[in-house]
Structure 1
Amino acid sequence: MVRLNRITTRGGDGGETSLGDGTRLRKDAPRIDAIGAVDECNAALGLVRLHATGEADAMLARLQNDLFDLGADLAVPAAPEGTEGRARLRVSDAQCERLEDEVARMNEAIPPLRSFVLPGGSAGAAFAHLARTVARRAEREVVRLAAAEPVNPAAIRYLNRLSDHLFVLSRHLNEDGKSDVLWIPGANR
C-alpha cells in the first residue's frame, strides 16, 4: 500500500530523484523522462475526463489507473537475468488487449474516414487529441529508454495502443465522428 505523509522531502534539491527500488538517478535521465511523459499523459487524461460521461469516463478512469501501473513498472528497473527479487507491478498484455477491445467496440459506431482528422470538434475530442500526442511522446521516451536498458515490452505496446484508443475516443466524443473536423489538403493555398 502506498503511504505518502511527507510530500516535501528536499531529496531532489540536488537534481536527483529516487526510483521505486531506491536507486538514485539524475532528473534528466532517460528513465525519468519516460516516467515524466507517462505522468503528463495521465494529467492530459484528467482534462479529457472533464468532458466525458458514462462509459467514456469509465474507460478514461481505467486508462489513468493503467498509467499509474506503467509508471510503477518504469520506476523499478528489471532485475538482471538470474537474480531473484520480489514480484514487481508490470503492465500486462491483458491491459493491451483490453485497449484493443475498447477501440474495436467504439469504432463499430463510427463511419470510416475519408481524410485525416484535425484536433477539435468538441472540447472533449480536442483534449483527447492532446492526450494522444502526449501518449505518442511517452511512447517515444520509453522506446528511447528501451534502446539503452531493459524495459517491459508490454509497456511499449500499451502506449502504442493507448494513442490509437485516444484517437478513436476523440471521434466517439465528436458524436461518433459527426463533429470531426477533417483536413482539406491545400485548402489555403
Structure 2
Amino acid sequence: MGNRLSKITTRTGDDGTTGMADGSRLSKSDLRFDAMGAVDGLNAQIGLLQAHLAQKLPTVCDEIGIIQHKLFNIGGEIALPNHAEIGYVAITTDDIATVERWLEQHNEPLPYLQDFILPAGSVATAQTHVVRASCRDAERLLVRLSERDGNISHASKQYLNRLSDYLFVLARVVARLDGGQEVLWQK
C-alpha cells in the first residue's frame, strides 16, 4: 500500500463530498456511502464478535477472519462503481459456497427450531445477533443501491444474504457455550 494513506487529514471532504476509488467525488449523503458505511459497520461489529469468541471458538474466529476480508472486498466494490468494467470481482460463487458449508456444519448438530429466538442471552450471543441485524441492514442497502445504479454484483448481495443466515445459526451455537441456552419468545 506504500504511502497511499500517509496523510489522513486532507480537508478534501470539507465541502461535503468524498472521493471514490475511481477518483470521482460524490456527496457524503449519497446512498452509495450509506451502503459502504453499513458494510464497514458490519465489519467492525463482526470484529468485536471475534474478540468475544477468541478463546471459546477458535475455528469460528478463523471463519470470521475470512468473512472480514470478504466484507472489505464488498466495500471495495461499492467504492468502485465501474468495478465490472475493470474486472474487479469482490465475491465469487466459491465464497458463497464456503459460507453455506460453514452454515450447514454449524447447524447440523443443533436441535430443530420450535419457537422464535430473542436476540438476547450472553454478551457474545447478543453480539452475534447485533452482527446478524447489521448484516441485514447492509444487505438492504446494497439491494437499494443495486436497484438505483445497477452496478452491485449479484454475488455480493447473495453473500450478505447467506452471511445473515450463517450469523443466525452462529448465534444459536454461541448461545450454547458454557451450558447457556437460547432465549425463546414468550407468546
TM-score in terms of structure 1 length: 0.89
Q: Are residues 1:78 and 2:101 paired?
A: no
CA contact 2:70–2:90 (8 Å) conserved in 1: no
SS of the equivalent of 2:109 reads coil
Match of 2:121 in 1: 121
SS at match of 1:17: strand
Letter in 1 for 2:162: R
Q: How far apart, CA to CA, are the structure 2 residues paired with 1:70 and 1:103? A: 20
1:87-102 mapped onto 2 (5 Å cutoff): 87-102=87-102
Kindly provide the CA deviation profile for residues 87-123 of structure 1, in whole angstroms up to 9, marking residues without a partner as x: 3242222111111111000001211111011012221
> Which residues of 2 match residues 9-158 of structure 1 at below 5 A?
9-53=10-54, 54-78=58-82, 86-150=86-150, 151-158=152-159
Give structure 1 regions of 4+ aligned residues with deviation exceeding 3 angstroms: none
Does the CA-based 8 Å contact 2:73-2:91 persist in structure 1? yes
Structure 1 unmatched runs, 5+: none
1:79 Cα deviation after fit: 5.9
Letter in 2 for 1:46: G
CA distance in 2, matches of 1:178, 1:52: 14
Q: Number of residues paired by the alignment?
A: 181
- 8 Å Cα contact 1:122-1:179 kept in structure 2: no
Calculate the TM-score normalised by the size of structure 2: 0.90
Provide the rounded CA distance (Å) in 2 between the counterparts of 1:99 and 1:120.
24
Query: Which segments of 5 or more consecutive residues in structure 2 lack a partner in the other structure?
Result: none
What do the CA deviations read for 1:130-178 (whole angstroms, capped 9, x no partner)?
A: 0111110111111110111121111110110111111111111112795
Partner of 1:183: 185
Deviation of 1:44 (Å): 0.7
What is the one-letter code of the residue matched to 1:123? V
Moved more, 86-95 or 97-106: 86-95
CA RMSD in angstroms, aligned pairs only? 1.7
Q: Is the 8 A contact 2:77 2:83 kept in 1?
A: no
